[in-house]
Amino acid sequence: MTTDQLKYQGHARVSFRAEDPELTHTGPRTPAGEYFRRHWLPVAMTEQVSETPLALEILGEALVIFKDLSGRIGLLHRQCAHRRASLEYGIVAENGIRCCYHGWLFDIDGTILEVPGEPEGSSIPDTICQGAYPVREYQGLVFAYMGPSDTVPDFPVYDTMDQKGVANEMVPYYIDYPCNWLQVAENPMDPFHSVFLHTRVTRAHFNPAWGEMPVVDWHRMKGDTGIYLTNARMWQNYLWVRTAEVFLPMVAQPPDIYQNPDKEKFFPRVGITKWTVPVNDHACKIIAWRHFNDTLDADGKGDRASVGANKIDFVGQTGVERSYEEGQKMPGDYEAQVSQGSITVHADEHLGHTDYGVARYRAMLKKAIRKVESGGGVAAPSLNDDGTIPTMAGDVIVEASKLDPDDRETRRKLATQIGEIVQSTLGLSEGSRADEIERQVRDLMAPYR
C-alpha cells in the first residue's frame, strides 16, 4: 500500500476477531486450565487466611480458604456438597469447617465428618465428599495443587527461595489485575518495554541506565521448562548483562528492580519471584515475594513497608496507588497491560523483532498445553547440589572500558558467553555459584578491561 492508502484507515481496522482461547481460557476442563492444574500455584498470602473463611476464585473455580481451630489450612469448593450454600459463611471447627445451612462438617481434605440431622449410620460420609485441594504454606504464601490427585508433583523450591550465605528476606504481596493472565505474565520476556515505558517515554522509573538500548537474545531452558533472556547494555565504562527468566507456565524472576550499573557486581540475584495466577479468563493476580538483602538495591530505594496487599514499592504496578489522571501522565506496567482489554486479541497485534521473546514464550506454552492435552506429563526442572531448582536470573556488571560502546556485535557475543557461564554453573550450590561466575567472567573480560 502507498503512504496515502495507510491514512485514516480506522473503518478498515475495526476488528471482530476473537482472542486465542488455547492460551487465555483456564477454566475447568479447558486445555490451558488442565495444564495449569498440574502445577503448585500460590492462591493467597498467609496473613489473609484465618478462622473467618475467605472466598477466592482461582482458575475459574469458586473456592473458600480458612484455618481451622487446630491451625490447619483448608481449601475447599465454595458451594456445600449438600444444598450448595456457600462455605464462606461456614463456621470453622477443631477439624475442618461446618456449613451454616444444615451443619454438615467437612475436613480440610473434603471428607465428611458429620451429617447432623441424618439417620445414625448414614452412608453419606462414605459415598460423597466436598471438593478440596492440598495446600502448603511457605514463607508467607499459601500454595495449592488443583490437578488430579494421582499426579501431584514435588513442591518447587527455587534456589532464590533458599539462598545460601545471604540473609534474604522475602516479603509477600499480591496485585489484582482486571485482565487476562497472559498479557501480564509475558511482560518479563519483553525487556524493550523497560527502555520506553520505564525510561524514555515519561521519566526514569528506576534508573536512567534502563533507557540505554540493549542487545537481547532469548534462550530455551533445558527440557523446555521455561525461557530466559540475556540483556546487555553499555553504561559508562561497564558492560551490564542482565538475565531474566520465566518458568512455565508463569513463574517469573526479574533481577534487582533498583539495579544501578555503577560498579562491578557478580550475580546479585532477583528482586522479585512472582506467579501470575488466573482468577478467571478476565482477571488475574500476581502473587509474589519481593526480595530484600544486602546484595540488592545498593542505593536504598526499596521500602518493605510498601509491599503487601495490592501494593508494591515501585511505581505503576497497581490500580489503587494512583488516580486515573496520574496513570495517564506517567503510565506503568499496570496501565500498559490492563489497557489491552480484558482479553487481548493476538490476531490484531503486529509483532516486531522486539517481541521475539513474547512470541517464543507463547509457542512454548502451546506446546506444553498440547502435551498435557494428549495425555503427556509436565516437564520438571533438574535440581542443583543444594536440592533446589537452579535459576538463571541475576545481574553481571563488569568493567569494559576498552569495549567500543557502538560495537553491538561484540556486546552480543559477550552477553551470550556470560549467559553460558551463568548456565554452566546451574548445578553448583548457591553459596559457591557467584564466586565461580565472577572467576569465569573476569577471565572472559580481561581483554576489555
Give the pLDDT confidence score for residue 372 in this predicted structure: 97
Would you state the pLDDT for residue 15?
67
Q: pLDDT band at 8, cuts 50/70/90?
A: low
DSSP three-state, residue 107: coil
CA atoms of 41 and 119, how far apart (whole Å) = 40
List residues bridging with 246 in a β-sheet.
Answer: 227, 252
> Where in the chain do CATH 2.102.10.10 domains reside?
40-145
Mean pLDDT of the chain: 93
**Are the C-beta atoms of residues 237 and 399 closer than 8 Å to each other?**
yes
- Residues 53, 308: contact at Cβ < 8 Å? no
Whether 287 shows a pLDDT value over 70: the answer reads yes
Give the range among 122-126, 242-246, 328-332 with minimum mean pLDDT. 328-332
CATH topology of domain 159-448: Naphthalene 1,2-dioxygenase Alpha Subunit; Chain A, domain 1 (3.90.380)
Mean pLDDT, rounded, for 33-51? 98
Topology of the domain covering 40-145: Rieske Iron-sulfur Protein (2.102.10)
pTM over 0.85: yes
Which pLDDT does position 315 carry in this prediction? 85
- With a CB cutoff of 8 Å and minimum separation 6, the contacts of 389 are 156, 157, 158, 159, 247, 381, 382, 383
Q: What is the pLDDT of residue 146?
A: 98
Helix 408-424 / helix 430-445 crossing angle, nearest 10 deg: 150
What would the pLDDT profile of 74-102 be if each residue is shown by its tens digit? 999 999 999 999 999 999 999 999 999 99
Q: Where in the chain is the domain with CATH 3.90.380.10?
A: 159-448
List Cβ neighbours of 406 (8 Å cut-off, separation of 6 or more). none
Amino acid (one-letter) located at 211: G
405 has a pLDDT exceeding 90: no
Q: Give the pLDDT confidence score for residue 157 in this predicted structure.
A: 97
- State pLDDT tens for residues 215-228: 999 999 999 999 99
Question: Which pLDDT does position 74 carry in this prediction?
Answer: 98
User: DSSP string covering 376-439, please?
Assistant: ---------TTSSB----EEEEEE-TTS-TT-HHHHHHHHHHHHHHHHHTTTS-HHHHHHHHHH
SS3 content of the chain, % helix, strand, coil (to 5): 30, 25, 45
**3-state secondary structure labels for all residues of 29-92:** CCHHHHHHCCCEEEEEEHHHCCCCCEEEEECCEEEEEEECCCCCEEEEECECCCCCCEHHHCEE
Find, among 281, 261, 257, the residue nearest to 269 by Cα.
257
Other C-beta atoms within 10 Å of 47: how many?
Answer: 12
In 100-225, at which residue ranges do the beta strands (DSSP E only) sit? 105-106, 112-114, 132-133, 135-138, 141-145, 169-177, 215-220
Q: Does 198 score more than 90 pLDDT?
A: no
Residue type for position 18: A
CB 66 within 8 A of CB 89: no
What is the rounded average pLDDT of the residues 402-409? 91
What's the pLDDT score for residue 13?
65
Give residue for cell 495425555: 375
Q: What's the pLDDT band for 394 if we cut at 50, 70, 90?
A: very high
pLDDT at 199: 67
Across 9-13, 137-141, 407-411, which has the greatest mean pLDDT?
Answer: 137-141
What is the distance in angstroms between the CA of the first residue and the CA of the last residue of the chain?
A: 50
